[in-house]
């Protein structure tokens, strides 16, 4: 990261008009307005749709293979965000992988606490299976969406449903007990909107009366046996660094083909800044290479 890029990031974070704390409805409006103000690339087309009764955005870039589908889950601490607000990152992942992206607008807490988001993810995935063979299907998610994608795969495995060919998890939030050491040790250098205090405020919104250590809430505590090849990316300046590192360790212990990429000195979901950040661009390219290696291929693993 050049000094110019670091200054540009600092400027962006210092002027974000939304927060993960406070009234969710108010913050959703602010977040949506801020993120949708950024124009999508000229070759990107976006269409609304539905999978299993769940609203989705169908995102294509010029030249992608629409027979290959990346089912994507946006971030937002389970309380904020939308498929449209996260369309820029989703489109970049799809373009890099040469795949269509279907981004799921799962229900948000606190109006719809656990398991609403997971139920929506399962419904959308089941419907995707009716249209796309698992060899041509992958799942991805950033932040809370990464946790949701992981919980989805755990539930699919538990229900003996076919799993996708691969998964990509960007800065996944997979421990809602907030027990990771970097929740404290990285708090002073994580420039993103994520803070330990903010996460503590949002956890009850999502979990309700459920124990946050429940494996389908915090898949860091789940049996990950049988999950498909998985790429996990995270920045070393994130309070969620430990979530990603520990998840990779659990996955490896359960014989998952897992790749962990830790990029030094970059913030939460740094891939979203690929247009201005060298490391973000490189990470998106690595996601594309990973998905191209597994999606649409006949493999023994």
Question: What percentage of the chain carries pLDDT values higher than 90?
Answer: 89
pLDDT attached to residue 298: 55
pLDDT attached to residue 300: 45
150: alpha, beta or left, given left = phi > 0 and alpha = psi -120 to 50? alpha
Q: Of 12-21, 71-80, 224-233, give the lowest mean pLDDT range.
A: 12-21
Catalytic residue positions?
143, 238, 268
Question: What percentage of the chain carries pLDDT values higher than 70?
Answer: 99
Calpha distance 6→13 (Å, rounded): 11
Looking at the predicted structure, is the pLDDT value of residue 91 above 60? yes
Looking at the predicted structure, is the pLDDT value of residue 257 above 50? yes
Could you tell me the strand order of the sheet in which 230-235 lies? Answer: 44-51, 54-61, 99-104, 65-73, 137-142, 166-170, 230-235, 258-263
* Region 23-30 average pLDDT: 96
pLDDT attached to residue 38: 85
Q: Which residues are within 8 A (CB) of 72 and not within 5 positions of it... i.e. 6 or more apart?
A: 83, 86, 90, 93, 101, 102, 103, 104, 139, 140, 141, 145
Torsion of CA 125, 272, 246, 72, to 10 degrees: 0
pLDDT, one tens digit per residue, over 186-209 is 999 988 899 999 999 999 999 999
DSSP lists the bridge partners of residue 72 as 103, 140
pTM, rounded to two decimals = 0.96
Closest C-alpha to 77, from 17, 142, 25, 122 = 142
Calpha distance 98→65 (Å, rounded): 6
* Region 165-185 average pLDDT: 98
Q: Which residues are within 8 A (CB) of 120 and not within 5 positions of it... i.e. 6 or more apart?
A: 54, 104, 106, 107
Q: What is the DSSP string of 258-282?
A: EEEEEETT--TTGGGGTTT-HHHHH
Residue ranges of domains in the chain = 3-294
DSSP helix/strand/coil, 161: coil
pLDDT, one tens digit per residue, over 41-66 is 999 999 999 999 999 999 999 999 99
| Cα 21 to Cα 31, 57, 114, distances in angstroms | 12, 27, 19
Contact between 97 and 295 under an 8 Å Cβ cutoff? The reply is: yes
Q: Which CATH superfamily is domain 3-294 in?
A: Alpha/Beta hydrolase fold, catalytic domain (3.40.50.1820)
Looking at the predicted structure, is the pLDDT value of residue 299 above 70? no
DSSP lists the bridge partners of residue 262 as 234
Return the structure tokens found at 162. 């076919």
Contact between 141 and 169 under an 8 Å Cβ cutoff? The reply is: yes
pLDDT, one tens digit per residue, over 271-293 is 999 988 999 999 999 999 999 99
* Region 86-93 average pLDDT: 97
pLDDT attached to residue 164: 98
Closest C-alpha to 234, from 173, 189, 294 = 173
pLDDT attached to residue 301: 42
Contact between 295 and 99 under an 8 Å Cβ cutoff? The reply is: yes
Calpha distance 90→212 (Å, rounded): 28
pLDDT attached to residue 5: 85
pLDDT, one tens digit per residue, over 109-156 is 999 999 999 999 999 999 999 999 999 999 999 999 999 999 999 999
């Amino acid at each position: 990261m050049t000094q110019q890029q670091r200054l540009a990031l600092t400027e962006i974070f210092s002027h974000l008009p939304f927060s993960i704390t406070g009234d969710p409805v108010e913050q959703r409006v602010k977040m949506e307005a801020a993120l949708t103000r950024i124009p999508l690339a000229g070759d990107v087309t976006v269409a609304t749709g539905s999978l299993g009764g769940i609203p989705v955005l169908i995102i294509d870039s010029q030249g992608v293979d629409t027979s290959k589908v990346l089912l994507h889950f946006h971030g937002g601490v389970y309380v904020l965000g939308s498929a449209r607000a996260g369309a820029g990152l989703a489109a970049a992942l799809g373009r890099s992988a040469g795949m269509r992206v279907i981004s799921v607008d799962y229900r948000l807490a606190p109006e719809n606490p656990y398991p609403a988001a997971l139920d929506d993810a399962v419904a959308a995935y089941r419907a995707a299976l009716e249209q796309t063979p698992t060899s041509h299907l992958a799942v991805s998610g950033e932040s809370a969406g990464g946790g949701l994608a992981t919980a989805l795969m755990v539930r699919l495995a538990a229900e003996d449903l076919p799993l996708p060919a691969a998964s990509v998890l960007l800065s996944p939030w997979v421990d809602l007990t907030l027990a990771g050491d970097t929740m404290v040790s990285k708090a002073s250098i994580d420039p993103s909107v994520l803070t330990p205090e903010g996460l503590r405020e949002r956890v009850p919104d999502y979990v309700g009366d459920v124990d946050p250590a429940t494996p389908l809430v915090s898949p860091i505590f789940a049996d990950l046996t049988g999950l498909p090849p998985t790429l996990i990316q995270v920045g070393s300046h994130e309070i969620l660094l430990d979530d990603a590192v520990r998840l990779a360790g659990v996955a490896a212990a359960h014989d998952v083909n897992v790749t962990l990429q830790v990029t030094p000195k970059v913030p939460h979901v740094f891939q979203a800044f690929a247009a201005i950040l060298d490391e973000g661009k490189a990470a998106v390219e690595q996601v594309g290479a990973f998905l191209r290696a597994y999606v649409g291929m006949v493999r023994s693993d």
